[in-house]
Amino acid sequence: MKRHQIASLDVLELRGKTNAPVIILFHGYGASANDLFPLCQELSYQKTDPLDSIEANALNDSDATWIFPNGIVKVPLAPNMYGRAWFPINIEALEQARISGKHRDLASHFPEGLSEARERAEEMIKEIIEKRKINYNQIIIGGFSQGAMLATDIVLRNKQVNQNFAKLIILSGTLLAREEWTKLALEKKGISFFASHGKDDPILSFDLAEELYSIFTKSASWEGTFIPFSGGHEIPLQVLSALKEYIHKS
């Protein structure tokens, strides 16, 4: 594991081969790169027998590079304790919604600060591509919660002609800016994505997660996998198992 800067972002990196695929995962609000870093082990195939093989043309995790960036916003958690975020959120509105047993309707607006986070993440991605001499279609991008929103926005706004990201991972994310995201999705072709969401998520609406999946698959004809589960704002074992299979599938 190596901690360093790529463009303006602080990242944790598990280095693979120079021209091999890159997997970038963004953490959620109040967390950090350290929180998601264990996923590179959870989602890897542990090959103990040299005769073991992975499906032809599938991602070989021993070659891939895993990158976990730290959010650009400092979030106070306790005295002298801080987490990170990609953009600010209205904690008071979130708590009021939770107390009332409802969810904030994030699909009606675009969060302030998300554009800056996206631009800085895009600069990081461009530097990775240039230095490692790879294309966008060799990058799997995703995240959890707020990080999933960021990754989704990056994929939707990617302007590279005929160079979509290889795969998009949306773990407990949500639909933002419904009209704008729908329009952008319709302009993209051949996107592959994986999504999961807890049916009892107290923070982000399960219904909006389903709507996002529907927009991508039914309206935009993307190829998607959706894993609903009985639980809250989390990444359970059943999701990890399905995600592992998705990542390594050609």
The domains located in the chain, with CATH, are 2-43+60-248 (3.40.50.1820)
CA angle, residues 184, 190, 191, in degrees to nearest 5: 65
Would you state the pLDDT for residue 123? Answer: 98
**Using only C-alpha atoms, what is the Rg of the chain?**
17
Task: Give which of 148, 135, 1 is closest to 71, Cα–Cα.
Answer: 148
pTM of the full structure: 0.91
Q: How far is CA 248 from CA 55, 170, 178, 223, 235, in A?
A: 8, 16, 31, 16, 18
Asked if 84 contacts 32 with a C-beta cutoff of 8 angstroms, the reply is yes
Would you state the pLDDT for residue 73? Answer: 97
Please report, in tens digits, the pLDDT of each residue of the chain (250 residues total). Answer: 899 999 999 999 998 887 778 999 999 999 999 999 999 989 986 443 333 333 333 444 457 899 999 999 999 988 889 999 999 987 676 667 667 777 778 898 899 999 999 999 999 999 999 999 899 999 999 999 999 999 999 999 999 878 899 999 999 999 999 999 999 999 998 899 999 999 999 999 999 999 999 999 999 999 999 999 999 999 999 999 999 999 988 7
**Quick count: other Cβ atoms within 10 Å of Cβ 115?**
13
